[in-house]
Structure 1
Amino acid sequence: MAQSSIGEVISESEMEMMDKIEKFKRELTSLRTGRANPQLLDTVFVEYYGTKVPLKQVAAVSVPEPRTIEVRPWDAAAVDAVEAELMKMDFGSSPSRNGGVIRISLPPMTEDQRKKMVKVVHSMGEDARVQVRNIRRDILEKVKKAQKAGELPEDDAARHEEAVQKLTDSYVKTIEDMVAAKEKELLTV
């Protein structure tokens, strides 16, 4: 494995780490925090003309009030299917329908619910950190194999290991910042 291919491996690994961060960010936005958030419905799929499609493709989702999500299907034929899927979700209250508009009122979260969600966020953050560190471990193994095979001088291997560690540290710090921000959001009433 030549030095240029080690650089490529590090670049690919950085992309993997970025993907893990993006996935973690999506998971965090889909968590209920006590405030209405259109991303809460990102995981909803609706049966539309025989095909399961994301809710975003059949309806406009808005937040007219801090604790209310409003869903406006573009096709009147989809209103029943959208309402049925929203009924399956656990929001703490049932969606209400007014003509072609479906409203979901989110009840305020209790202190216990907030604390449980903080624990969930910390657990998710730890999982994301572990994934990033596993990517680091894989890169370092490749660097060491290349060094042992004589394809990479010891100085270059040390330089690559240091670069990988700095990269890992920056992504772990990003995850920790995201966890802290979400915790603050959850604990703010």
Structure 2
Amino acid sequence: MIDDIKSDAEQRMKKCIESLEHSFRKIRTGRAHPAILDGITVPYYGMDTPLKQVASINVEDARTLVVSPFEKSLAPAVEKAIMASDLGLNPASNGDVIRVPMPMLTEANRKELVKQAKADAEATRVQIRNARRDANNDIKELLREKELSEDEAKGGENAIQKLTDQFVAEVDEHLKAKENDLMSI
């Protein structure tokens, strides 16, 4: 039973880390990366469709993305969607291909992005601690129902705490790497 609780908590914590990695990919650095445009949707036949489903996104050079809509008629809508996003990007279209230059980050921008990364990391730590709390509550419930001895419950709680410490350390590593990435010129 404790193994089931522990594996469930571990799965929840892994999902938290995946979510953090996904949100970190959306924080733009000075370099071009196709994942920056992941959250953008384009109106396509009356439905908002993710950009990567209606266009190919490639890196032209270290500071420029090239977006090629699969249908030429979508180019203005794609350009408009990129401009309307809160990413601060200014696409330039030459008909069927849209170039998205990555603006240089100022020191103030970099510090704001680091703050955002820290906030995302803290939210992930909270989610991990919530998973720990839920697992510990499950263990306490089993203890109350006399399905576990106190020693087994204590051992289970210790195992959950070690798991929590491991995942929180992983969050810290991701944050440190992202900070270094943002602050490097």
Q: Same fold (TM over 0.5)?
A: yes
Asked whether the equivalents of residues 129 and 172 of structure 1 are also in contact (C-alpha less than 8 Å), the reply is: yes
Asked whether the equivalents of residues 55 and 70 of structure 2 are also in contact (C-alpha less than 8 Å), the reply is: yes
Task: Tell me, in whole angstroms, the C-alpha distance in 2 between the residues paired with 1:89 and 1:66.
Answer: 21
Q: What secondary structure is seen at the aligned counterpart in 1 of 2:27?
A: coil
Query: Given the superposition, is the C-alpha separation of residues 170 and 76 from structure 1 closer, same or farther in structure 2, using an over 3 Å criterion?
Result: same
1:37 to 33, 40, 49: 33
- Long gaps (5+) in structure 1: none
1:9 is displaced (CA, Å) by: 2.4
Matches within 5 A, 1:130-141: 130-141=126-137
1:80 is displaced (CA, Å) by: 1.9
Residue 20 of structure 1: aligned partner: 16
Percent identity reads 41
- Long gaps (5+) in structure 2: none
Task: Tell me, in whole angstroms, the C-alpha distance in 2 between the residues paired with 1:173 and 1:38.
Answer: 28
Matches within 5 A, 1:177-188: 177-188=173-184
2:105 to 104, 109, 114: 109
Residue 78 of structure 1: aligned partner: 74
The count of aligned residue pairs is 185
TM-score after normalising by structure 1: 0.93
Query: Given the superposition, is the C-alpha separation of residues 33 and 148 from structure 1 closer, same or farther in structure 2, using an over 3 Å criterion?
Result: same
Task: Tell me, in whole angstroms, the C-alpha distance in 1 between the residues paired with 2:72 and 2:50.
Answer: 17
Residue 146 of structure 1: aligned partner: 142
Coordinate RMSD, CA, aligned: 1.3
Task: Tell me, in whole angstroms, the C-alpha distance in 1 between the residues paired with 2:4 and 2:91.
Answer: 50
Q: Aligned pair 1:168/2:164, yes or no? A: yes
Q: Aligned pair 1:97/2:85, yes or no? A: no
Residues 57-89 of structure 1: per-residue CA shift (max 9 Å, x gap)? 111101111111110011112212211211212
Task: Tell me, in whole angstroms, the C-alpha distance in 2 between the residues paired with 1:131 and 1:90.
Answer: 26
Residue 87 of structure 1: aligned partner: 83
Query: Given the superposition, is the C-alpha separation of residues 47 and 159 from structure 1 closer, same or farther in structure 2, using an over 3 Å criterion?
Result: same
TM-score after normalising by structure 2: 0.95
